[in-house]
Amino acid sequence: MTSVVTLIVFVSSAPGPPANFSHSVIAPSESHGPRINLKWSRPQQENGLIRGYNLLYSNNEDTLRVQTETFGPNTFSYSVDVLGGVTYQFYVRAVTIRPGTNTSFAVDIPEYGKRVIFVCLFFYLFLFVSLFFEVEG
């Protein structure tokens, strides 16, 4: 009796950069501050089994602090709480047996706080004037 054994060898190396890395900035609301939604898709050159994705980000206010998030192979989006008036750098890479090439971009987050400060100052001025005239009258 003759047996045939088939050996399949997968060659795996570092993947290419994730495709379609994009973002949308979400303005603050009463329930949360500003956020950025990040999205990406699988690399065109997977070069093996994708085991996950690494997201790294930092901002120009604290360049020495780099945040790192790790995701499974089927996660293609993430939301990050951000600060207004700050520039953020985002990098995402796929991982097979080793990390692949980063894809990246920088985002300038609009400054939202000035409007809130102005409204608060106006309110306190109104309160002060109201109390002043109430005491005088």
Instruction: State what percent of residues in the chain have pLDDT above 90.
Output: 64
- The arithmetic mean of pLDDT across residues 33-39, rounded, is 95
Report the pLDDT value the prediction gives residue 98, as an integer from 0 to 100.
93
User: Are 111 and 70 contacting, i.e. CB atoms less than 8 angstroms apart?
Assistant: no
Residue 31: phi and psi, rounded to 5, are -100, -15
**pTM for the model:** 0.73
Q: Which of 20, 99, 19, 14 is nearest to 53 (CA)?
A: 99
Report the pLDDT value the prediction gives residue 30, as an integer from 0 to 100.
84
Report the pLDDT value the prediction gives residue 3, as an integer from 0 to 100.
73
**Structure confidence at residue 31 as a pLDDT band (50, 70, 90):** confident
- How far apart (Å, rounded) are the C-alpha atoms in residues 23 and 43? 17
**pLDDT digits over 101-122, tens only?**
999 999 999 987 654 444 445 5
The type of residue at 92 is: V
**pLDDT digits over 60-90, tens only?**
998 899 999 999 999 999 999 999 999 999 9
Residue 111, C-beta contacts closer than 8 angstroms, at least 6 positions apart: 84, 85
Domains delineated in the chain: 18-110 (2.60.40.10)
- Residue 124, pLDDT above cutoff 70: no
Report the pLDDT value the prediction gives residue 112, as an integer from 0 to 100.
79
End-to-end CA distance of the chain: 113
Report the pLDDT value the prediction gives residue 7, as an integer from 0 to 100.
61
Report the pLDDT value the prediction gives residue 16, as an integer from 0 to 100.
96
